[in-house]
Amino acid sequence: MPQSSAAKDSYQLPPKLFDARCKACWLVLGVLLLVVASFATLDLQWAQFWSWGALQKMGRFVGELLQPETSARFVGKLLPAMLETLAMSALGTLLAAALGLALALPAARTHAQDPARWRGATRLWLNALRSTPELVWAALLLIAAGLGPFAGTLALGLHTAGVLGRLFAECLENATPGPAFALRVRGVDEVRVFFYATLPQVLPQLLSYTLYRWENNIRAAAVLGVVGAGGLGQMLAFHMGLFQMGETSSVLLAMLVLVALVDALSYAMRRALSR
C-alpha cells in the first residue's frame, strides 16, 4: 500500500550526519583532519604577521611599490631583461616541443600491431622530466651551465618536454588510424607513415598544446631568475634583496605586461590555427 508507506516515510528521522558506510563522509572527515593537522603542525606566526611592526612594514612596502621607477636609465636595463625572458620562454618551449615529440614517438602505441617496446620506459622518463619543476631543474643545471639565461632555457625545455611529451603521445595514440593503416597495408615504411598520415592529422593539436605551454613558460621564465637563471627574475631578486621597491615594482609591471602580451599573441595564433 503506497499511501501508508509514504505516511511512514514522513515520520522517519533525517539521515544521520555521519554514516560509517558512506564514502563521502569518510572523505570529508579525512579532508577536515588534513586541514586541522596542517594548521596545527605548521609554526605559523600569525601574531608576528598581524603585529603592528609587520603591518607598518607591509604598508610601507605597498606604498613604495606604488611608485615604480621610470628613469630612462632603468628602463634601458629593463627592456633587454624583458627580451631575454621572452627569448628564454620561446626557445625553451621550442626545445621542449622537439624533445617532447622525439620522446612521444616511442611512448605512443599507434596501432594494434605496434610492439611499442619502449613505451613503459619512455613514459617513466617523461614522468621524471615532468615531475621536477622548472625551478629545480634550473638550480640543478646552474652547476653545469653556469649562471645566466642558458640554464633557465634548458630548465624550461626539460620540464616542458615532459609535459608536452605526454600530451603528444596521447595525441598520437588518439589520431584516427585510417590513413596510417591505408599507407601501412601498402607497405610504406613507418617513417613515411608518420610524416604523411599521422603528423598532418595531429599537427594543429600539437601546435596548440605547444602555444598553451608557451603561455605557462613565460610565467615560469619570469620567476626562474630568482635562483640565478637570468631574465626579469634575476633583476627582481636583486632589487628586492636591496629593498629598492621602486625598481622591484617596475620589474613586476614588466612581468605582467610580458605575460599579457604572450597571452594575447598565443590566443591570436591559436585562433588562427583553429580556423
Partner 1 sequence: MPHATIDALPATALMPPRPTVRDPAWRARVFWTLAGLALLWPMGVLTEFKPWVLLEPGALKPALNFVGAFFPPRTDAEFLALLLRETWRTVAMATAGLTLALLLAIPLSLLSVRVLSLSGLAGRMTLGAAVMRQCVRWLLLVLRSVPELVWALVFVRVVGLGPTSGVLAIALTYSGMLGKVYADILESGDAHATSSLMRNGSGRLQAFFYGLLPQNAAELTSYTVYRWECAIRSSAVLGFVGAGGLGQLMDSSMKMFNGAEVASILLVFMALVWLADRMSSALRKNLG
* 128 interacts with partner 1 by CB under 8 A: yes
Distance CA 273, CA 266 (A): 10
254 binds partner 1 (CB under 8 A): no
Is residue 176 at the binding interface for partner 1, with CB under 8 A as the rule? no
Among 125, 150, 194, 238, binds partner 1 (CB under 8 A): 150
**What is the CB-side half-sphere exposure of residue 101 using CA atoms within 13 A?**
16
The gap from C-alpha 184 to its chain's centroid, in whole angstroms, comes to: 37
Q: Which stretch binds partner 1 (CB under 8 A): 40-48, 71-79, 184-192, 193-201?
A: 40-48
Return the number of the residue (110 or 252) whose C-beta is nearest partner 1. 252
Q: Does 111 bind partner 1 (CB under 8 A)?
A: no
Q: Which is nearer to partner 1, 175 or 229 (CB)?
A: 229
Q: How far, in Å, are 101, 168, 170, 208, 255 from residue 203 at the CA level?
A: 11, 10, 13, 9, 31
Residue 216 engages partner 1 in binding (rule: CB under 8 A): no
According to the binding rule CB under 8 A, does residue 69 interact with partner 1? no
Rule CB under 8 A: choose which of 118, 196, 243, 267 binds partner 1. Answer: 243
Residue 38 interacting with partner 1 (CB under 8 A): yes
Looking at 111-119, 134-142, 175-183, 191-199, which segment touches partner 1 (CB under 8 A)?
134-142
**Contact (CB, 8 A) for 258 and 266:** no
User: Is residue 227 a contact residue for partner 1 (CB under 8 A)?
Assistant: yes
Binding flag, residue 153, partner 1 (CB under 8 A): yes
Distance of closest approach, residue 114 Cβ to partner 1, in angstroms: 25
> Which of 102, 116, 145, 188 forms a contact with partner 1 (CB under 8 A)?
145
By the criterion CB under 8 A, which residues form the site for partner 1? Answer: 23, 27, 34-35, 37-39, 41-46, 48-49, 54, 57-58, 61, 83-84, 87-88, 90-91, 94, 127-128, 131-133, 135-136, 139-140, 143-146, 148-150, 152-153, 219, 222-223, 226-227, 230, 236-237, 240, 243, 252, 255-256, 259
